[in-house]
Amino acid sequence: MEKELMKWFDYEGNGDEELKRAEVRLVKLGQMEKNLRRLAIEEGISFQDFREHRAEIEAERARLNDLIETISSRRNLVKADFEIALNLAKQLDFLFEKGTFAEKRLLCETVLNRVYIQNGKITKTELNPPFALITCAARSSESFSSGRPYRIRTCDTLIKSQCILLPA
């Protein structure tokens, strides 16, 4: 799962059109600035025009650098979120089994978005975004997606008997 996640982030890193366009435009701005300097040196344009065009180029360069930084940091934050969620998903059984009631509650709030209950039974669950994607990718992990008898992530036999297991 970790290898697939890394491949996906590498693919996303190479496939981001907005980032590529910004980088290409940044290179073109460098060429435009060189041409502008050459024109100013050769006295092809006035000093006032040179300053005006240079200010426009610098403003666009700053905007593009901010855009590139925003895209890169957003990608890194998403990647970190998925890595943390994957590590948490790997240790979920252990953490739930060894945790206090408050820690178990926090784990449930972290993993679950909604739990639908009908006639005292769980009919459907919605996971928070990183865990929903991890569950879809790791359908073979039944203990993560729905739990199994005697591995339902709770020691309370009353709660075990009231839980309904969802099909994979």
Residue 124 bridge partners (DSSP): 116
Q: What is the pTM (predicted TM-score) of this model?
A: 0.52
Asked if residue 106 is part of any domain, the answer here is no
pLDDT tens sequence across 22-79: 999 999 999 999 999 998 888 888 888 889 999 999 999 999 999 989 888 888 887 7
Claim to verify: residue 11 and residue 41 sit in the same structural domain: yes
Better-predicted residue by pLDDT, 11 or 86: 86
Report how many domains make up the chain: 2
Asked if residue 97 is part of any domain, the answer here is no
Distance CA 50, CA 114 (A): 60
User: Looking at 27, 59, 90, which one is the last position of a domain?
Assistant: 90
pLDDT at 30: 93
Instruction: Give the range of the structural domain holding residue 142, as residue numbers without chain letter.
Output: 112-162
Distance CA 17, CA 24 (A): 10
